[in-house]
Amino acid sequence: METTKLSSKGRIILPKNILASRAWGPGTELSVEETGDGILLRPARRFPKTDLGEVAGCLRSKRKSKTPGKMQRAIVREVNRRHDRGRY
C-alpha cells in the first residue's frame, strides 16, 4: 500500500503504478463516492444508465426499409461479384 498527501488546494497525486494499471491518463474523469472506510474513485460513466426501452428507435433511418427479397438479391449479387473477382 502506498501513501500520498493532500495539497493545500485539496488535490492528491495518485501513484504511477495505479494510474498505469487502470489506464487513467490526464483528463480522465472520475466519480468520487464516500464510503464508510474512506472514498472510492471510479471512472465516470460517459452516458447515463439507460434501458432498451428508453433508447429503442433512436437510430431509425429516414430511408425506406428494404424488403427481405431485395436484401437476398443484393447478397447474391455481392457474392457473385466477389466470386468473379476470385475472392471466393
CB-facing half-sphere around the CA of 72: CA atoms within 13 A: 3
Contact 4, 13 (CB under 8 A): yes
For the entire predicted model, the pTM comes to: 0.48
| Cα within 13 Å of Cα(20), Cβ side | 3
Per-residue pLDDT of the chain in tens (88 residues, 90 and over written 9): 888 999 999 999 999 999 999 999 999 999 999 999 999 999 998 887 888 878 777 777 778 888 999 999 999 999 999 998 886 6
pLDDT in tens, 36-57: 999 999 999 888 788 887 877 7
Sequence-separated (6 or more) residues with CB below 8 Å from residue 43: 22, 24, 28, 29, 30, 31
For 60, the 3-state DSSP assignment is coil
**Domain spans, the chain:** 12-46
